[in-house]
Amino acid sequence: MHKVAVIGASGFTGAELLRICAAHPDLEVVAATGDSMAGRPVAELYPSLAPAYGETRFVPYEPGVAAGCDLAFCALPHGASQTVVPELRPEVDHIVDLAADFRLDDPGLYPAWYGDEHKAPELLAEFVYGLPELFRDDILHAELVAAPGCYVTTATLALAPLVAAGAVEPTGIIVDAASGVSGAGRPPKPNTTFCAVDEDFTAYGLLTHRHTPEIEMAVSRHSGTDVQALFTPHLAPMNRGILATCYARPAGAVTTEQVLDILRDAYSEEPFVVVSERSPSTKTTLGSNSVHITARADDRTGWVVAIAALDNLVKGASGQAVQCANLALGIEETAGLASVGMYP
C-alpha cells in the first residue's frame, strides 16, 4: 500500500481525490490538508466521504506533512504549487500537480497568460506532462507530473490524432467548450452562485483564456507540428462535465469514416477512451475516468468537427491525476478508476 498526501483536500478536486483513493487498492491517504478548513472533520464538509474518512480532519499545510509518503497530490489553486512543490520535493518521492503551475514548458508564457512571473522556472523542465493517452512513456516512474485539466484534456484528445495523422490543418483550429460549475472551484464567486448560473449559458475568457497556449502546446508536442487554436470556454448550468466541439480545416480530401478510423486507431488500446459515431454527452461520462469522442467531415462547409465529453472532476482533474500516479508508482494504470459512468 502506497502512502499518499493530498495537499488542498478541501476543494472539489481534493475531495474527488479522497473519494477515488478511498476505493483504490494501492493508495492510502495519510494526510489531507486544507488551510481554510484546518481542524474540521472531512465528513463535516463532505458528508459523502464519511464512510471512508469519518475520523479524518483537515490539517494545515506544512512541508513535513508529506514526510515519508510515496506520493503527494497538489490540488491547489493555480499559482500556489510554485511555492509548495519546491518545499515538498525533499519530503516525498513523487508529486502529481493538478494545477497549471508546471504544465507549460516556456516560463515566458506564465506572465503573458497567468499574469505573474513563474516562481520556480528551474523546475519546469523536470516535470512531465501528465496526459497518459499521448505521453504515457514519459509518465511511467516519473518523479514530477503536471496533470492537465478538463478543457485541455478534452480538446487535446479530440484533436491530437487528427493533427498527427495530417488529416486536418494545424492552424485555424477553433475549440468551443462548455464546463460545469464545479470547474470554477468550491469557493463561491459572484458569477458561480445558483442564481447567476441557473437558466444561463455564457462565454468567458474571450481570446485570452489561459488554457489556450496549453492546448496548442499539447497538440503540437504530440503531432510534431506547430498548432494554433482559438479557444472559447463557456459556463453551463450543470454540476459536472466538459463538452468540447472542435473545428479544423481538412488538409485534403477526407471522409467521416476516415476521421473516425484515425481516432479509433489512436485509442484502440486505451481503457478510458470511447470512440463512436454517437454524439458524446457529459452525463454519459459522469463519475468515470472516460472520454467519449466522435468526429465528422463535412463536404458542404469544408470543416472537420471533433467532439469530446468527460467529467471535469474525474478525467478532467482528479481521476487523471490518479491515473498518472498509478503510472509513476509502477502499479496498474487503471487501478481505482471507473471506466463506466453513472446514469441517470
Question: Residue 301 sits in which domain range?
Answer: 150-311
141 and 155 in a single domain? The answer is: no
Q: Report which of 167, 180, 123, 141 is spatially closest to residue 309, judged by C-alpha positions.
A: 180
Encode pLDDT of 309-333 as tens digits. Answer: 999 999 999 999 999 999 999 999 9
Encode pLDDT of 224-235 as tens digits. Answer: 999 999 999 999
**Number of neighbours of residue 193 by Cβ within 10 angstroms:** 11
Decide if 339 is inside a domain: no
Can you give the pLDDT at residue 187? 85
Largest CA distance in the chain: 62
Domain tally for the chain? 2
pLDDT range class, residue 189, cuts 50, 70, 90: confident
230 and 162 in a single domain? The answer is: yes
Decide if 342 is inside a domain: no
112 and 175 in a single domain? The answer is: no
104 and 231 in a single domain? The answer is: no
Decide if 344 is inside a domain: no
Encode pLDDT of 113-124 as tens digits. Answer: 999 999 999 999
C-alpha cell at 233: 470556454
Q: Which residues of 302-311 are buried (b: 16+ CB within 10 A; e: fewer)?
A: eebbbbbbbb
76 and 219 in a single domain? The answer is: no
| The amino acid at 143 | E
pLDDT range class, residue 190, cuts 50, 70, 90: confident
Residue 257 in 3-state DSSP? helix
Q: CB–CB of 202/269 below 8 Å?
A: no
| Whole-angstrom distance, CA of residue 71 vs CA of residue 240 | 27
32 and 65 in a single domain? The answer is: yes
The CATH number given to whatever domain includes residue 251 is: 3.30.360.10
Give me the sheet containing 229-235, strands edge to edge: 202-203, 229-235, 173-179, 242-248, 303-310, 291-298, 273-275
296 and 216 in a single domain? The answer is: yes
The CATH number given to whatever domain includes residue 45 is: 3.40.50.720
Percentage of the chain surpassing pLDDT 90? 95
| Whole-angstrom distance, CA of residue 245 vs CA of residue 179 | 12
294 and 319 in a single domain? The answer is: no
pLDDT range class, residue 188, cuts 50, 70, 90: confident
Whether 150 is a known active-site residue: answer yes
Catalytic annotation, pick one of 150, 195, 246, 324: 150
Q: CB–CB of 18/29 below 8 Å?
A: yes
126 and 171 in a single domain? The answer is: no
C-alpha cell at 137: 512513456
pTM of the model: 0.97
Encode pLDDT of 136-157 as tens digits. Answer: 999 999 999 999 999 999 999 9
